[in-house]
Structure 1
Amino acid sequence: MAIFTMNMEAKLVSSAQNPLVKSIILLKDKSRERRKTGLFVGEGQREIELALKGGYVLKTLLFCPELMGPTSIEAFTKTTNPEIVQVSESVYGKIAHRGTTEGVMALMQSKNHALKNISFESKTPLVLVAEAPEKPGNIGALLRTADAAAVDAVLIANPKSDLYSPNIIRSSVGCLFTNQIGVGTTDEIIDFLQTNQIKIYCAALTASKNYVECDFKAASALVMGTEATGLTEKWLQNSGQNIIIPMQGEIDSMNVSVSAAILIFEAKRQRGF
Structure 2
Amino acid sequence: MKEITSTQNSFIKNLIQLKEKSRKRKSSGTFLIEGQREITLAKKGNYTIETILFYPELFNKTALNDFTTNETELIEISKEVYQKLAYRDTTEGVLAVAKSKKNKLEHLKFSTQNPLILVAEAPEKPGNIGALLRTADAANADAVIIANPKTDLYNPNIIRSSVGCVFTNQIAMGTTTEIITFLKTNNINIFCAILQESVAYHTQNFTKPTAIVVGTEATGLSEQWRVNATQNIIIPMQGSIDSMNVSVAAGILIFEAKRQRNFE
Secondary structure of the 1:154 match is strand
Q: How does 1:37-116 map to 2 (within 5 A)?
A: 37-69=28-60, 71-77=62-68, 79-116=69-106
For residue 235 of structure 1, the aligned residue among 219, 222, 225 is 225
- Give the partner amino acid of 1:27: L
1:80/1:112 CA distance change after superposition, 3 Å = farther
State the distance in 2 between where 1:261 and 1:153 align: 14
- Identical amino acids, percent of aligned pairs: 61
State the distance in 2 between where 1:71 and 1:39 align: 26
1:87/1:70 CA distance change after superposition, 3 Å = closer
CA contact (8 A) 1:57 1:80 kept: no
Q: Quote how far apart the aligned CAs of 1:238 are.
A: 0.3
Runs of 4+ in 1 over 4 A off after TM superposition: none
Unaligned runs of 5+ in 1: 1-9
Aligned pair count reads 263
CA contact (8 A) 1:154 1:181 kept: yes
Secondary structure of the 2:236 match is coil
- Tell me the TM-score normalised to structure 2 length: 0.98
CA contact (8 A) 1:58 1:80 kept: no
Secondary structure of the 2:133 match is helix
Tell me, yes or no, if structure 1 residue 21 matches structure 2 residue 12.
yes
What is aligned with 2:159? 169
What is aligned with 1:178? 168
- Give the partner amino acid of 1:181: I
1:244/1:272 CA distance change after superposition, 3 Å = same
Tell me, yes or no, if structure 1 residue 253 matches structure 2 residue 243.
yes
The alignment yields a C-alpha RMSD, in angstroms, of: 0.9
Secondary structure of the 2:232 match is strand
- Give the partner amino acid of 1:257: S
Between 1:86-95 and 1:66-75, the stretch displaced more is 66-75
Secondary structure of the 1:140 match is helix
Q: Quote how far apart the aligned CAs of 1:20 are.
A: 1.2
CA contact (8 A) 1:224 1:260 kept: yes
CA contact (8 A) 1:41 1:106 kept: yes
Q: How does 1:75-224 map to 2 (within 5 A)?
A: 75-77=66-68, 79-224=69-214
TM-superposition CA deviations, 1:99-141 (whole Å, max 9, x none): 2110110000000101000011111100000000000000000
